[in-house]
Amino acid sequence: MKVTQEKLPASRLELEVEIPPEASKQAYERVLQKFMRTAEIPGFRKGKIPRPILLQRIGTQRINAAVLEEVIESSIQAAIKQEDIPAIGEFDLRSDFQTLINQFSPGQPISFRAVVDVLPEVKIKQYTGLSVQAEEVKYNPQRVEDTLENYRSQLATLVPVEGRPAQMGDTVVVDYDGHLTEESLAQLREQEDFDEANLEIPGLQQSDFQLELKEGRFLKAFLDGIVGMNLGEQKDVIVPFPEDYVNTTLAGRSVVFSITLKELKEKELPDLDDDFAQDVSDFDTLAELRESLEKRFQEEAEQARKANGEDAILNGLLEQIETELPETLINQEIQTLFATQALRLSEQGIDINRLVTRETAPAIQREFRPQAIERLKLFTALEDIAKREQLQVDPEKLQAQITEVKKSLGNKPYDPDRLKGIVEKDLLREQAVAWLLEHNTIEWVPEGTLSQEDDEAAAIEDTEAAAIAAAIDTDPESADPESADPESTAS
C-alpha cells in the first residue's frame, strides 16, 4: 500500500492512499461472499445463489459501494499505523465516493484521498526566564473575627423592641398592600392591549410578613421606608421596580405600598465563650475554635497565593505558544467543558435537558470555544515541557491518584488504561507547572493591583455558566416570583 502525505493548516494531514490490485480483488471477493451468505432471493437458499443472479439482483453499484466502504475504512487505519501518524478523530474522505464507485473494477488499483486530524505540533518561543506579576495574598486575622460574628448572628435570639423606631439589622413583621402609581398606570394605558378592568398583580399584598432589615434582602426603597417607623405605625412608601423585573407589568414602574409595622425585634447575640464554641463547632473551647479558624484562613491565603502565581506563569506561557489546533480536539474540549459545567448546574437543580437544543447548541459552541482553545494550548505546551525536561511521574503518587479517582467514580464503568493515561497526563502537567514556577520570576504585588486582570480571569472562569445561562430559553411559567413578594427583586 502506497501512502503519500501532505500537511494542511489547522493540524490536518491529507493522505493519498493507493490500494494494490491484489488487495482490491481480495476485498471484492470477500464482500461478494458476504452477500452470497446473507442475501435472500426467492427460489434460492442462502449461500447457494449463483454469482450472476446475485450481481443482477443486488446490483453492481451496491456491491462496489460496499467493497469501497470496507477498503477505505481498513486502508485508512492501516495507513495510519504504517506511517505512524498521530491521528485523532474520524477521517474525512476527500475523493468523490460516487466517482470511486463508477471507476471501481475488481483486480484494479484503488486510489483515494482522505484527511485526518493529527495531534498538534507546539512551538514555545520561551518558557524560561519569564518575568510575570502576581497578586500577593496575605492572611487577614479579621476574617476570624468576622466568622465568629457570623456564627453569633446565626445563634442570635430575636427579642421584642420597644421605645425606639425600626433600624437596619432589626427583624420586623409587617402587613403591606401595594398598587401602581398613577404615573405607572398612565404608561400602561398607552398600550393597545392593556385591560385595566382585569388588572391583577399577584404578590403586592401580604399579611404578617417577617423581614430582616438587611441590605440585599428586599428592594432598597422598601427597606428604607420601614427604617424609622414605630411599632403600630402605618406608612405609604413609593417603591420603583427594576427595568429587568420578570413581571413586565411592574418592570420599570413604581408601586405605592401601604405598610403597617406590627412587630419589631432585634437580635440578642450569645456571648463569645466556650459554650458558644461548643454550640457552633466540635471544639470544647473558644481558643481551640479560634486556632482552627486561623489555621484554615492561613491555608486558604497560601493556596490563593499559589493559585495566583500559577495563573500568572500560565498566562505568561500562553503568550509564548504557537500551535494550530485541530477541530476534533477543540470540539472534544468544548464537550468536556460543557459536561463539567452541566454537572454542576444539575447538582443545583437545573434541568440539563433544557440546555442543549438544535437552536442553543451553536451559541454554546461559540461561548465555550475561546476557553477550549486556551486550555488546549496550555495542555499541549505543558506536556511538551514535561517531555523536554524529562519529568517523570512518581509511580506511588500515580497509583494513589488513580485510587482516589476510582473512589469518585463509584460503580461507573471505566477503561483502566484510559484512566491511567488521563491521570498520568494531569500529574505531568502539574509537575510542569511546578517546574515553571522554579525556573521563572514572579514579582509579587499587593492585592488589588491587578484587579482588572483578575476580573477578566474570573470572567473566563465563569464562561461555561454564562454560556449555558445564555442558552436557556427560560419558561415564564417555570417561576412565579410575583406570587411571593417584592423580595424576589432584591438584587
Residue 254 three-state SS: strand
- At residue 455, the pLDDT reads 53
Q: How many other C-beta atoms lie within 10 A of the C-beta of residue 459?
A: 10
DSSP string, 28-82: HHHHHHHHHHH---TTS-TT---HHHHHHHH-HHHHHHHHHHHHHHHHHHHHHHH
Distances (CA, A) of 404 to 360, 399, 407, 434: 36, 9, 5, 22
| DSSP β-ladder status, 254-268 and 234-240 | antiparallel
**Rounded Cα distance, 389 and 383, in Å:** 10
Cα 230 versus chain centre, distance: 49
- At residue 463, the pLDDT reads 45
- At residue 187, the pLDDT reads 87
Residue 331 three-state SS: helix
Identify the helix (H) or strand (E) that includes residue 107: none
Asked if residue 181 lies in contact with residue 256, where contact means CB atoms within 8 angstroms, the answer is yes
Q: Which three cell numbers stand for residue 67?
A: 467493497
Query: What is the pTM for the complete model shown?
Result: 0.67
| Count of residues in the chain | 491
- At residue 459, the pLDDT reads 46
- At residue 473, the pLDDT reads 38
Which are the contacts of 350, defined by CB distance < 8 A and separation ≥ 6?
none
Angle between helices 361-388 and 327-347 (to 10 degrees): 110
Q: Which three cell numbers stand for residue 312?
A: 500568572
Can you give the pLDDT of all 491 residues of the chain as single tens digits? 899 999 999 999 999 999 999 999 999 999 888 888 877 777 777 767 787 887 888 888 999 999 999 999 999 999 999 999 999 989 999 999 999 999 999 999 999 999 999 999 999 999 999 999 999 999 999 999 999 999 999 999 999 999 999 999 999 999 999 999 999 988 888 887 777 767 778 889 999 999 999 998 888 999 999 999 999 999 999 999 999 888 888 889 999 999 999 999 999 999 999 999 999 999 999 999 999 999 999 999 999 999 999 999 999 999 999 999 999 999 999 989 988 888 887 887 777 777 667 777 788 888 899 999 999 999 999 999 999 999 999 999 999 999 999 998 888 898 999 999 999 999 999 999 999 999 999 999 999 888 655 554 444 444 444 444 444 333 333 333 333 343 333 33
Terminal CA-CA length for the chain: 68
DSSP string, 192-246: TT--GGG---TTSEEEEEEEE--TTSS-HHHHHHHTTPPTT-EEEEEEEPPTT-S
Residue 484 three-state SS: coil
- Of 19, 186, 183, 45, give the one whose Cα is nearest residue 106: 19
**Rounded Cα distance, 470 and 338, in Å:** 13
- At residue 216, the pLDDT reads 84
| DSSP β-ladder status, 441-445 and 131-135 | parallel
Which are the contacts of 13, defined by CB distance < 8 A and separation ≥ 6?
5, 6, 7, 85, 87, 115, 116, 117, 118
Residue 13 three-state SS: strand
